[in-house]
Amino acid sequence: MKFLGIDVGTGGTRALVIDPAGRIVGSATCEHVAFATPRPGWAEQDPADWWRATGDAVRGALSDAGIDGAAIAAVGFSGQMHGSTLLDDTDQVVRPALLWCDQRTGAECDAITATVGAARLIELTLNPALTGFTLPKLLWVRRHEPALWARVRSVLLPKDYVRFRLTGDRATDVADASGTLLFDVANRRWSAEVAGALDIDLALLPRAFESPEVTGTVSAAGAAATGLRAGTPVVAGGGDQAAGAVGMGIVEAGLVSATIGTSGVVFAATSKPALDPKGRVHTFCHAVPGMWHVMGVTQGAGLSLRWLRDMMGGGLTYDQLCEAAAGVPPGCDGARWTPYLMGERTPHLDPDARAALAGLTASHTRGHLVRAVLEGVTFSLQDSFAIFAEMGVPVSGVRLGGGGAKSPLWRQIQADVYGHTAEIVEAEEGAAYGAAILAGVGAGAWPSVDGACKAIVKVASRVPPSPVAVAALRAVYADWRRIYPALKGVGATDPVAIA
C-alpha cells in the first residue's frame, strides 16, 4: 500500500510516493512553462500545461519508486491557490488562468468592499478583498471580457482542474476554497450571501470537501494519461499552504511554519477562527478537519532570488549565490531589499507596492546584494510574526520549508530574524508530502491527520539563533521597515494606462 501526493505549483508539478511509514519511495517534478505577464502586475498560465506536467510527473514518480499504478492506494492533491480556471459547457478552458500573484483587480476589490461592506465581508469570509483572491478575478473577466464570461459554466482552482482531468469530478477542499473570497470560512461552506451580493451563481462552484475525504476515483482517461489504475480513490487534498503545513506537522496550536517558495508564507494552526481586524493576514480553514489557520503572505519571496539570479546572468546556481553571500555580515553593510516584485499582501495589502534595492554604495559586491535579498525576504516574513504577536497567536516553535529551508545560510538568517530555533523536518517536501499524507488518511492508513503527522513527521535538525546576530538584525529590521512608507507609490504608475 502506497500513497501518491501531487502538488500543482506555479513553477512545476511535483508527484511523490510514500509508504505507510511515511518514507518517500519515489518522486519526480515536471516544470511548467513560465507564467505570462502580458502587462506589469499580470500573471497567467495555461491550465493544459498543468495537466501535461502532472502526467509526466506521476509517471516519473511511479518509475522512480519501481511500481506501477496498481500499487497506489489513494491520491491526494495540493496546488497553488486562488487561480481562476474557467470552463465552458464542453469543459474547455475559456482563457488562461489568472494566478495568485496577478494584481490587476484593484477596482474589483473596491467594488466588492463597497457592495458587501468592509466589516460585513470580513464577518462572512474572515478576509478582506485582496487582488490575489479568486472572486475579484471572476469579476474582472466579467467586466473586461464579457463575451468570454458568457461562456463560463464552471470555475475551478488550479489543482482542482487537474483533479477534474484525472477523475471527471468537480470538487475542491475547504482550505483551498477559503482563498476564493466566496467561502464562509467559519462555517466551512460556500457563502450564499457573498455570491448573491456579487451576482455569482453558486452552481459555477465545485462541491467543497474536508481535505482527507474521498472526492472520486481515477477515470479511464485519467489512468491513460498518468499510469495510475482506474478506480483509485482521490481525496480532496488542500491548497499548497495547508497541505504543506500537514507535511511539516503544523497541525496544532503553537507550531508555526515559514515556507519560502515562489511566494513566502508564515502559517500558524489554530483551534478556532482567529481574526486580524485589519485583514493583514488570512484566516482560512486548515486541511485538518475542525482546525483553522492564519497565514501571512509575501508575494515575491523565492521569486526575488530567482529574479536576482536571472538578472545577474552567467548561469549561476542558487548555491553559488549563497556562497557569494556567506562572508557578508548581518545587515549587508547597509544594503536593503524590499521583495515587492508582484505587489504585496502582508502587511501592506498593496498591489502597487514595488520592489527596491536601497542603501547601495560602490563598495557593495554581488554577495551583498544576495544577502540583502535573503534578509529582505525574511524581514517581510517577520512582518507576519509581528502581527501574530498582536493577535495573541502563540509561537512555540518554527519549522522551515521550501527553498529557504535548503540553504544553510538562509536557514540561519531565518533563525536570527525570527528569534526562534528553526526546525527542519526529515521529509523536506512540503505540499506534495502533505497531499500524500492526506491520501493515506483517506485510505484508512492513519485514523486522523494529526495522528498521521505525530507518527511520521520527524524533525531532522535544528538551527539555533545567534544572540549577536539576533540583536544586530533587530536593528536592521527596524531600518528596513522605513523603506516601504518612504517609497510608497514610487514606480506604481502604469504608462500604458496613461497613453
pLDDT digits (tens, 9 = 90+) for 143-189: 999 999 999 999 999 999 999 999 999 999 999 999 999 999 999 99
pLDDT band at 27 (very low <50, low <70, confident <90, very high): very high
Among residues 405, 357, 351, 352, the alpha carbon closest in space to that of 381 is found at 405
Per-residue model confidence (pLDDT) at position 274: 87
The model's pLDDT over 471-498, given as tens digits with 9 standing for 90+, comes to: 999 999 999 999 999 999 998 765 544 4
Find the catalytic residue in 184, 240, 352, 383: 240
Residue 302 has pLDDT above 90, yes or no: yes
User: At a CB cut-off of 8 Å and minimum separation 6, what does 191 contact?
Assistant: 124, 125, 182, 183, 184
Region 259-278 average pLDDT: 90
CA separation for the pair 144, 139 (Å, rounded): 8
Q: What would the pLDDT profile of 58-74 be if each residue is shown by its tens digit?
A: 999 999 999 999 999 99
240 in active site: yes
Closest of 177, 275, 171, 218 to residue 70, by C-alpha:
218
Predicted local distance difference test score (pLDDT) of residue 497: 47
pLDDT (0 to 100) of residue 45:
97
pLDDT in tens, 399-455: 998 888 999 999 999 999 999 999 999 887 889 999 999 999 999 999 999 999 999
Q: SS3 string of the chain?
A: CEEEEEEECCCEEEEEEECCCCCEEEEEEEECCCCECCCCCCCEECHHHHHHHHHHHHHHHHHHHCCCECCEEEEEEEECCCCEEEECCCCCECCCEECCCCCCCHHHHHHHHHHHCHHHHHHHHCCCCCCCCHHHHHHHHHHHCHHHHCCCCEEECHHHHHHHHHHCCCEEEHHHHHHHCCEECCCCEECHHHHHHCCCCHHHCCEEECCCCEEEECCHHHHHHHCECCCCEEECCEEHHHHHHHHCCCCCCEEEEEEECCCEEEEEEECCCCCCCCCCCEEEECCCCCCEEEEEEECCCHHHHHHHHHHHCCCCCHHHHHHHHCCCCCCHHHCEEECCECEECCCCCECCCCCEEECCCCCCCHHHHHHHHHHHHHHHHHHHHHHHHHHCCCEEEEEEEEHHHCCHHHHHHHHHHHCCCEEEECCCCCHHHHHHHHHHHHCCCCCCHHHHHHHHCCEEEEECCCHHHHHHHHHHHHHHCCHHHHHCCCCCCCHHHHC
In the beta sheet, which residues pair with residue 214? Answer: 235
Residue pointed to by grid coordinates 508564507: 265
Which pLDDT does position 7 carry in this prediction? 97
What is the pLDDT at residue 430?
80
Q: Residues of the chain with pLDDT > 70: what percent?
A: 99
| 369-382 mean pLDDT | 98
The mean pLDDT value for 329-338 works out to: 98
Q: What is the pLDDT of residues 194-220, one digit of tens each?
A: 999 999 999 999 999 999 999 999 999
In the chain, what are the domain boundaries? Answer: 2-242, 249-429+458-491
Judge: domain 249-429+458-491, CATH 3.40.50.300: no
Cell of 495: 504608462
Mean residue pLDDT across the chain: 95
In this predicted structure, the answer to whether residue 499 has a pLDDT above a threshold of 60 is: no
| Bigger pLDDT: 403 vs 54 | 54
Beta bridge partners of 69: 228
Please check whether the two domains, 2-242 and 249-429+458-491, share a CATH topology. Answer: yes
Q: What CATH fold (topology level) applies to the domain 2-242?
A: Nucleotidyltransferase; domain 5 (3.30.420)
79: exposed, middle or buried (Cβ count in 10 Å: 0-12, 13-18, 19+):
buried
Residue 277 clears pLDDT 90, i.e. is over it: no
